[in-house]
């Protein structure tokens, strides 16, 4: 960044006036290095130079504020952007929506989502998955389920990521039967579970001491050539080494050896 700033200042001293593109490059560099105060200073400087920020400028800053955990300021920038006649793109909104959810600003997240729908932005399954994941993580399973169940009416079908998110949410709340049913429904609808899906449901059942079902899904996963991840392996090893594993789990490991 020091070299970039030197080049920028040299350009100015030599009478070569920076353009919006020049400012965007420098602002992006500051944002990537989490130097948001320097980025916003350049942003404000642009107007004194008679330059108007474009969608790239605003999107870069919004991403920068999200990166440093300040999504509410990013949301204000989004509204400022719209007020200046710069319509946000779907990627910018996705970044902001994700960060609002992760910072537990759910009222703002839902308001942004509603605004995106009202403005008829080109929403996709990724946007819905971000919101569903945020609601599940916050324990707002009813809201997550409503969003998930409404997908077909919006013209979308859940993908493997969306199904896995909902399965995780159900397991987290101890709704294991519902998690099993959703896994079956997923396969019935032609969406094959991947190793993330199996690891998610196995962890859920193990954490609720339902080892027989966990073993069933372990066998399914192994038969499909998929493997456990580090979290699943750690839970399994802990159960075995502390003698808390039931016979079905012990037998599975003996056969695996």
CA distance 232 to 234: 5
Residue 143 falls within a domain, yes or no? yes
Residue 181 falls within a domain, yes or no? no
Is residue 47 domain-shared with residue 82, that is, in the same domain?
A: no
pLDDT at 249 over 90: no
Residue 40 falls within a domain, yes or no? yes
Tally of domains in the chain: 4
pLDDT at 209 over 80: yes
The continuous run of DSSP H or E covering 162 comes out as helix 160-172
Is residue 199 domain-shared with residue 257, that is, in the same domain?
A: yes
Is residue 117 domain-shared with residue 129, that is, in the same domain?
A: no
pLDDT at 254 over 70: no
CA distance 74 to 219: 46
Residue 167 falls within a domain, yes or no? yes
Read off the pLDDT of residues 116-131 as tens digits, 9 standing for 90 and up. Answer: 888 877 889 999 999 9
Q: Which residue range(s) make up the domain with 91?
A: 72-101+110-121
Residue 182 falls within a domain, yes or no? no
The predicted model scores a pTM of 0.82
Residue 225 falls within a domain, yes or no? yes
Is residue 114 domain-shared with residue 131, that is, in the same domain?
A: no
pLDDT band at 136 (very low <50, low <70, confident <90, very high): very high
Residue 62 falls within a domain, yes or no? no
**pLDDT score for 256:** 61
Residue 149 falls within a domain, yes or no? yes
């Amino acid at each position: 960044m020091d070299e970039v700033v030197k080049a920028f200042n040299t350009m100015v001293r030599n009478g070569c006036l920076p353009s919006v593109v020049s400012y965007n490059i420098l602002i992006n560099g500051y944002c990537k290095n989490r130097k948001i105060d320097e980025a916003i200073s350049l942003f404000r400087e642009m107007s004194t130079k008679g330059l108007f920020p474009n969608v790239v400028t605003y999107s870069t800053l919004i991403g920068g504020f999200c990166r440093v955990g300040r999504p509410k300021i990013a949301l204000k920038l989004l509204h400022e952007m719209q007020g200046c006649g710069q319509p946000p793109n779907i990627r910018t909104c996705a970044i902001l929506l994700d960060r609002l959810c992760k910072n537990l600003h759910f009222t703002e997240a839902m308001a942004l989502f509603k605004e995106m729908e009202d403005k008829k932005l080109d929403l996709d399954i990724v946007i819905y998955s971000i919101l569903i994941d945020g609601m599940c993580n916050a324990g707002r399973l009813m809201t997550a389920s409503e969003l998930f169940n409404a997908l077909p009416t919006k013209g979308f079908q859940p993908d493997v990521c969306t199904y896995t998110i909902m399965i995780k949410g159900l397991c987290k709340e101890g709704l294991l039967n519902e998690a099993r049913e959703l896994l079956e429904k997923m396969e019935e609808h032609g969406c094959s579970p991947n190793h993330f899906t199996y690891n998610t449901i196995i962890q859920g059942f193990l954490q609720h001491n339902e080892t027989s079902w966990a073993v069933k899904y372990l066998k399914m996963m192994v038969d499909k050539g998929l493997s456990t991840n580090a979290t699943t392996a750690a839970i399994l090893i802990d159960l075995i080494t502390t003698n808390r594993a039931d016979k079905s789990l012990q037998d599975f490991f003996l056969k695996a050896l």
